[in-house]
A and B are shown apart, each in its own frame.
Chain A
Amino acid sequence: MSSVLLEVKNLKVHFPVYGGVFQRRVAEVKAVDGVSFTMHRGETLGLVGESGCGKTTVGRAIVNVLRHVSHDVHLEGEVNYVSPEGTKTNLLELRSKDLMAYRKRIQMIFQDPYSSLNSRLSVKQIIAEPIEIHRPEMSKSEVDDRVRWLLEKVGLQPEYALRFPHEFSGGQRQRIGIARALATNPELIVCDEPVSALDVSVQAQVINLMEDLQQEFGLSYLFVAHDLSVVYHISKRIAVMYLGNIVEIGDSDDVYFRPSHPYTRALISAVPEPDPLRKDKQRIVLVGDIPTPLNKPSGCGFRTRCPLAVASCAERVPELVVKAGGTAVACPVVE
């Protein structure tokens, strides 16, 4: 197995909720509530879950942009960057100056290709800016060359450099976003639902592009998405999140074809079956709604909707336990 790149330990992200006359802190949204996983160099880890389960927040915590969105977000745990030599650095504890050196190694691609590009800047300015900041020693013409090279790498014509984002389609914009993320030579790219806003045909093109780039540059992807078939296609391993916790993590074949956790089973059973002759597929329909992360149920977050729930599920939050196949499952009930 290749070396470890990132180690997330017991990550918690709580957003305060203000209310009342004096806007006092009345509650907390526990968006991420104790998530741990490791990522290896060159690997793609898929992170799936339904809306609001905290998967995007995990991604944003790793690239360290949460404090810009919410100034008093409560961050706990560790996000360790592991260098090839094995030294660990907890990115959450770094001050912004020291963080700079790590920023360029971890980049992000966003879901909405329309809000992820500054419409006032030309494509060239968008891609050149990170190069100018992280490689100030490069001359203007070197930066120009690199912008053209990056555009070619993401399958856009270098002549597009002088155009503005609104002249491009969603898929093209997503390519520009990928080029911007690549500009700093990152090792890890957090992909926050990178294709869910695109047409299906364009989705495939962008996914193929991402796979090609991974091959060429040895990138690792944390692929956050809700579309299981896309995640299965691109990921080597899959982590399933529910209500701020990882409930199952393992090799994508195991998770996709032999799911253990009752939530994962329900999730996988919901994937549409393209073969009309296969009618034997069992559809597990969950009852009820996802509980609010403002007021999570005690113990296992899934117990309110779980078909296998027993009384002891309410007592404590189940930990991830490695099962026979190598998959880690957070459910003491299943084998």
Chain B
Amino acid sequence: MSAPSTKPPSEETTMAKSVDGETYGQFVRRQFSKHTLGVVSVWIVAVLAIVAITADFLANDKPIICSHQGRVQFPIFKQYGVSLGIAEWDREYVTVDWKELQYDWSLFPPVPYAPETTDKTLVSLKDRAPSAAHWLGTDDIGRDVMAGLIHGSRYALSIGFIAMGIALVIGIILGAMAGFFGGTIDVVISRIIEIVITIPRFFLIITIVAMVEQGSLWLIMVLIGLTGWTNIARFMRGEVLRVRNLDYVSAATALGYSTPRIILRHVVPNAIAPVLIYAAFGIVSTILLESALSFLGFGVPPTVVTWGSVLFKARSSTYSWWLAVFPGAMIFLTVSAFNLIGDALRDATDPRLRS
């Protein structure tokens, strides 16, 4: 090897622009951290996610740990085993009401109600209002609202992420194909997008849920996902069209890279950021859509408690303000958090704001 054919030019020392070895991801993270509301929102969503994951330990009618008749037990963990089919309740516990048992000692979750347990001691409206026993009150059949909201966060987040995930997969694949290949493929995909976009989503989902006898959460997620990919696909198509004409894609072609390699390594990673930002807003509309469906009574089965279905109860119990205010506040908080995250992400990736 011979020595370098030219001396390093003077520009090298003066022009290094930013921190050494910073990837694009690190750069975006640094920009994002400057957006206070965005950071707060990330924490809100993180707390929500933790609440959703640990919902069984925050609100449950079984004790976390207890000693009954001299045996130390972990009923909530046991319940997981039973649900998975790897354990079985002892005969005496199958139909037992865990609250009635006499324990040597026990530790209950902070909200000692499951979302579906009904407190039959409550008769009047006044009994069902927020109180020391039921912090956020109960609905008309005595189900604890706090427990419902805690467990409802599971549904809200999983609907948001899973439905959006389905929409993202479909939208990114179709949009990238339309943008990259152009021609007939583009025409066909663009027409499909236009057809799907004209279908009134809300009424389609109501119709299908009404026709299916056993509505389920999964059905709703899949329906929302299958109808919600059109904007993502259009976004992706536009971005891919832009990126495809950049010189490094020509360079990749001239270097003989295969088409899948060009699409997956060179085009999609550079086109996907704005699409993912859109997805943050998409999660919002998904959560709202589920709440709206449940509010109208077309959503999940009545035994499942979601934020929307608690709101639904508020329609028939006009004076139970807590049934409207608390789930409404949760929806508002979550939706705002995702919106702010989307805003912050958009600012962080905006090339015009780069310093």
Residues in chain A within 8 A of chain B (CB atoms)? 60, 63-65, 68-69, 71-72, 99-100, 103-104, 106-108, 110-112, 115-122, 129-130, 133-134, 149, 152-157, 162-164, 166-169, 171-172, 177, 180-181, 184, 202, 205, 208-209, 212-213, 216
Contacts and interface: CB of A to CB of B under 8 A. Distances in A.
A71 B248 CA distance: 18
List the 10 closest pairs (A to B, CB-CB), nearest first: A169-B15, A103-B256, A116-B247, A110-B247, A212-B5, A155-B6, A115-B246, A63-B254, A65-B253, A65-B250
A155 B8 CA distance: 5
Given A104-B256, A133-B257, A168-B15, A120 B246 contact: no
Interface in B1-22: 1-2, 4-9, 11-12, 15-18, 20-22
Contact of B5 (A117, A121, A167, A216): A216
B83 interface: no
Contact of A171 (B11, B17, B265, B266): B11
B4 A167 contact: no
Interface residues of B, number: 41
A186 B9 CA distance: 25
Given A156-B12, A202-B11, A208 B24 contact: no
Contacts of A155: 4-9
Contacts of A213: 5
Given A71-B181, A115-B247, A152-B4, A100 B256 contact: yes
B254 A208 contact: no
A208 B6 contact: yes
Contacts of A107: 254-255
B260 interface: no
B179 to A, nearest CB: 12
B301 interface: no
Interface string B235-268: 0000000001111111111111100000001100
B182 interface: yes
B22 A167 contact: yes
B23 interface: yes
A202 B144 CA distance: 72
A68 B270 CA distance: 17
Contacts of B247: 110-112, 115-116
Given A117-B248, A169-B11, A212 B255 contact: no
A110 B22 contact: no
A138 to B, nearest CB: 15
Contacts of A171: 9, 11
A225 B269 CA distance: 32
Contact of A116 (B7, B21, B248): B248
Interface centre among B182, B256, B266 (most CB of A within 10 A): B256
Contacts of B249: 68
A60 B250 contact: yes
Interface centre among B246, B253, B257 (most CB of A within 10 A): B253
Contacts of A164: 21-24
Contacts of B7: 155
Contact of B8 (A68, A112, A157, A166): A157
Contact of B183 (A72, A133, A154, A169): A72
Given A71-B182, A155-B6, 4 more contacts: A68-B244, A134-B256, A167-B18, A216-B5
Nearest to A208: B6
Contacts of B244: 68-69
A118 B257 CA distance: 14
A118 B15 contact: no
A166 B9 contact: no
Nearest to A183: B255
26 contacts: A60-B250, A63-B254, A68-B249, A69-B245, A72-B183, A100-B256, A106-B254, A108-B254, A116-B248, A117-B248, A118-B265, A119-B270, A133-B255, A134-B256, A152-B1, A157-B12, A163-B21, A166-B17, A167-B18, A167-B20, A168-B15, A169-B15, A180-B255, A208-B6, A209-B5, A216-B5
A60 B260 CA distance: 21
A279 to B, nearest CB: 36
A135 to B, nearest CB: 12
A119 B311 CA distance: 47
Interface of B: 1-2, 4-9, 11-12, 15-18, 20-24, 27, 181-183, 244-257, 265-266, 269-270
Contacts of A172: 11-12, 15
B254 A162 contact: no
Contacts of A209: 5-6
A262 to B, nearest CB: 34
A329 B250 CA distance: 33
Nearest to A134: B256
Interface centre among B24, B181, B247 (most CB of A within 10 A): B247
A129 B257 contact: yes
B26 to A, nearest CB: 9
B246 A212 contact: no
Given A155-B5, A168-B17, A120 B24 contact: yes
Given A120-B24, A155-B5, A167-B18, A108 B251 contact: yes
A175 B56 CA distance: 59
Nearest to A205: B9
Nearest to B354: A166
Nearest to B246: A115
Nearest to A100: B256
Contacts of A115: 246-248
Nearest to A60: B250
Nearest to A104: B256
B184 to A, nearest CB: 9
